[in-house]
Amino acid sequence: MKLNHLRTLVKEELSKKLNEEYQDKFKMVGMLITNIKQRPQKEIFSDIRSIPGITVASVKEPMEYSEQDTEKFQSIMTVKVDGYPWITKGGFDRSKMEDVRKAILKVEGVLSYNVNSDNISAL
């Protein structure tokens, strides 16, 4: 690897990290599995949207509704998070996305919300 290429790579990665450090909004995409037999999907999403910091929650279904198991209903959920609730308490960064994910898991009817760290990005 040439020195100039290495410098460019390091510069890009450093720039990404520095930009992310001063971000107050993040986006997280993951696989949401819910039990819609236990509780309607609309109510589950309403509760997710009411979690502090979540400004937008949108969902895509990877399979047709008729092909899904209602006790393990799969959706790809994108959540946009505003850091204001944490900024006022001392700090907000990428690590707070795990707190948001855990809050989503506490919603009645949510079985799992799996997020790969590559699917968390600054806005």
pLDDT, residue 19, reads 55
In tens, the pLDDT along 78-116 reads 999 888 777 777 777 778 888 899 999 999 999 999 998
pLDDT, residue 21, reads 53
- pLDDT of 33 above 90: yes
pLDDT, residue 10, reads 80
Contact between 44 and 34 (Cβ < 8 Å): yes
- pLDDT of 20 above 60: no
Average pLDDT, the chain: 85
Q: In the beta sheet, which residues pair with residue 69?
A: none
**Side-chain half-sphere CA neighbours of 56 within 13 A:** 10
Q: How far apart (Å, rounded) are the C-alpha atoms in residues 71 and 20? A: 38
Segment 32-38 shows an average pLDDT of: 93
In Å, what is the CA distance from 76 to each residue of 1, 9, 115? 38, 31, 10
Contact between 32 and 110 (Cβ < 8 Å): yes
Indicate the pairing of strand 73-82 with strand 25-34: antiparallel
